[in-house]
Amino acid sequence: MGVTNSNFWQSRWLKGVVFIACVVGVLSGAVYVLTSGRLYYKNYWGGRVFAPLAVVLILFVIAIMLVKWRTLNGPKSKLKGKAARRAQRAALDREDPARSNWRPW
């Protein structure tokens, strides 16, 4: 199935590509700084960033994303029990605001 124009910007593939581009950009910048013999680089706001820490954090984020990719992009789980009843009640309250003070007891 192709991605239609209306939901193109909400596509999980576009979000994945943007995420990968950001990670590769930050990682390549930090590795460039390390290979040039410096330990710090300046970020957008002018602050100093410790490049080895940036590399470790980026690798940690990549590891988390590889492990949790399915659960982060999977369908939302169905609510059960008390949470389901509260969600149903909240939906009813949104439909009829006058009913929001009504209690079933």
CA distance linking residue 44 with residue 14, whole number of Å: 24
Work out the pLDDT band at 2, boundaries 50, 70, 90.
low
Q: What is the pTM of this model?
A: 0.53
The phi, psi pair for 41, rounded to 5°, reads -140, 160
> Can you give the pLDDT at residue 72?
65
pLDDT-wise least confident of 7-11, 50-54, 65-69? 7-11
CA distance linking residue 52 with residue 30, whole number of Å: 7
> Can you give the pLDDT at residue 17?
82
CA distance linking residue 34 with residue 49, whole number of Å: 12
Mean per-residue pLDDT, 69-77: 66
Q: What share of the chain is helix, strand, coil (3-state, %, to 5)?
A: 65, 5, 30
